[in-house]
Amino acid sequence: MTIKTGNVSALYADIVGSLVPYIEDQVLLPNAGFIRNFYDITGDSAGNTIKIPVVNAYSDATAVAEGNSISTDATVNNFEPTSVSLTMSKFASWTDVTQEAVEDGSDSVMRSQILARLSGGIATALDSNGFDEAATTAGTDYGQAGASGTVLETNLVMGPDSLAYGIRRAPSVSHFYNNDTDTHQFRGTVRAGFKGIAANRIAKVSSNSSIASTTHVTSLDEFQQAVSNLRANNVEAMDGSLYAAFIGPATEYTLVKELNNVGASVPALSDLGNQALLSALLGSAVGAMFMRTNNLKSVIVS
């Protein structure tokens, strides 16, 4: 069916209604499974920065002899929280469609292509922003240092309280017509951002970003070190006691090859109730659930 000029408003309404579900289907971050700190201020009149309290660690209680002063002999555990500031930015994607394309194209093609461009661009931007923030916040790198000139993908291991997400404007799309160019212009935007809570809650496992490389590549042992140290720091895991491990394509190749060489197999997918996870899940090992992503931060070794 050809889209007539009068149907552009109906097409726009359909895109508005479909944009958020499309983005949620393409983005890994945020996801309630591994980001518990979610702040929605879309209806708030305040600015675009949120101050997030970070609770200080407590010490184990100390044995006190009968009749002795608790405040003198026992361990002090004053509540002294600090804070981190999460600032949200606007991310935008746009596409222009000529009136000729509207007249000649079908409903389904026009809808899918506009949605793919708007939602895909925003989803990738959100993921990249989140992974960059996590890599910047992360403490120890349990992976490879790499030789000068090596491009490393910064794989990440974290728990649900390691990263915070805030949203100021929900994903939205606007449309206007440019009569000078006879073009329909669609603009998709979102105002959101991420903030790492603490360095010891996020671990890096860097590895060569070149697929099938044999130098400066990580291993399951290094991911095990990252997981073990998160547990040692009492970083809470996801439901099922697994951490989220986000890995790039080259690291996926390396880990699957390692598993295959020892006769292991990647577990089958289960119904996680989220299409992003279903399409991104690699499997679980060493106490972490591995998720595929192409949006990790890359670093060139100096």
Tokens 């069916």 sit on residue: 1
Contact 269, 278 (CB under 8 A): yes
pLDDT at 45: 73
Q: Does 21 have pLDDT greater than 50? A: yes
pLDDT tens digits along 242-291: 899 999 999 999 988 887 765 545 554 444 444 555 456 666 778 898 99
Q: Does 219 have pLDDT greater than 90? A: yes
Q: Does 6 have pLDDT greater than 60? A: no
pTM summary value: 0.84
pLDDT tens digits along 139-159: 999 999 989 999 999 999 999
- What average pLDDT does this structure show over 191-215? 95
pLDDT at 209: 96
pLDDT at 168: 93
Tell me which of 11-15, 105-109, 196-200, 296-300 is least confident: 105-109
**Other Cβ atoms closer than 10 A to 123:** 24
286 — alpha (psi -120 to 50), left (phi > 0) or beta?
Answer: left
Residue 53 banded pLDDT, cuts 50, 70, 90: confident
Q: Does 124 have pLDDT greater than 50? A: yes
Share of the chain above pLDDT 90, in %: 55
**If you compute the radius of gyration of the chain from its CA atoms, what whole number of angstroms results?**
24
More confident residue, 277 or 240: 240
Contact 35, 285 (CB under 8 A): no
**Is the backbone peptide bond immediately before 30 cis, with ω within 30 degrees of 0?**
yes
pLDDT at 84: 92
Distance CA 142, CA 128 (A): 21
Average pLDDT, the chain: 87
Q: Does 109 have pLDDT greater than 80? A: yes
pLDDT tens digits along 63-78: 999 999 999 989 998 8
Residue 39 banded pLDDT, cuts 50, 70, 90: very high
pLDDT at 262: 54
pLDDT at 206: 97
Best CA proximity match to 142, nearest among 229, 211, 258, 251: 229
pLDDT at 25: 78
